Amino acid sequence: MARGLRILYIENDEALLGLLGNSLSVHPEIEILAKASSSNQAFKIAGEQQFDAALVDISLGPESISGVELAIRLRERNEHLGIVLLSQNITKNYLSNLPGQFDYGWAAIQKSATLSIDYLVEVLKATAKGLTVSDSNTHIEALESDNLSSKLSTRQRQVIGLAATGLDATEIAKQLSLAPVTVRQELSKCYKILIPNPKPGTDLRTAAVLRYLRETREL
């Protein structure tokens, strides 16, 4: 594909929509990234633009249809649209249990703190080409049973909590009456605690926030 990918990302958690969306939008292989926080918004955007693939969170909240149903309807509108389902609760055989519409151009990815942006882009590219991808990393999260967030200090919890809302170090510093350099130092400590063994290509800020949110609330 000579041009970059055109991606529609649907996620009802505004913090994740911002963090993961921003990481994807600056990736060199992404040409267009449109974001939606509900199924209705996704339908509207999909009706106005053509996309190569959609990244869809399975649980979109009580105001939306499920991510699986949304994905099927988006595919009905664009039979060439690649679909990547994203969820905290993906199993290795997840795709085999889905309806027959999932026979090409689909993938199911674990919403994990170890998720690499480069890997995610590769999966999006594959589904856009009509390939079906079984995520080899779906078992990893189950092995990460330690609640690493409990090891954060009170200040570190405050800092990473504000980072999860999308604030940068300068804005976090203003909120907590700290120097920006202190906030950056605390964020670095948070990354080391929450992501002790990062894989190559891991976006540490996004990965740390994902892990923090997963351990402090249901994603």
The string of pLDDT tens digits covering residues 16-45 is: 888 888 889 999 999 999 999 999 999 999
Decide if pLDDT at 115 tops 70.
Answer: yes
Q: Which amino acid is at 37?
A: S
Residue-range definition of the domain harbouring residue 54: 5-140
- Total domains in the chain come to 2
132: left (phi over 0), alpha (psi -120 to 50) or beta: beta
Report which of residues 213 and 33 the model is more confident about.
Answer: 33
**Calpha distance 99→55 (Å, rounded):** 18
| Mean pLDDT over each residue of the chain, to the nearest integer | 83
97 pLDDT band, cuts 50/70/90, is: low
Q: Looking at the predicted structure, is the pLDDT value of residue 141 above 50?
A: no
For residue 209, the domain's CATH number is 1.10.10.10
Could you tell me which residue, 63 or 98, shows the higher pLDDT? 63
The pLDDT of 67-90, averaged and rounded, is 86
DSSP-based three-state secondary structure for 204? helix
Which of 143-152, 169-178, 191-200 reaches the highest mean pLDDT? 169-178
- Do 98 and 21 reside in the same domain of the chain? yes
Quick check: 140 pLDDT over 90? no
- Measured CA to CA, the distance from residue 166 to residue 2 in angstroms comes to 32
User: Do 165 and 81 sit in the same domain of this protein?
Assistant: no
Q: Quick: pLDDT tens for 176-204.
A: 999 999 999 999 999 999 888 777 777 78
Let me know: does 149 contact 109? Beta carbons within 8 Å: no
Strands in 106-110's sheet, in edge-to-edge order, are 30-36, 5-10, 53-57, 82-87, 106-110, 133-134
Q: Which of 52-56, 61-65, 67-71, 213-217 has the highest mean pLDDT?
A: 52-56
Domain match, 20 and 100 both: yes
pLDDT at 187: 94
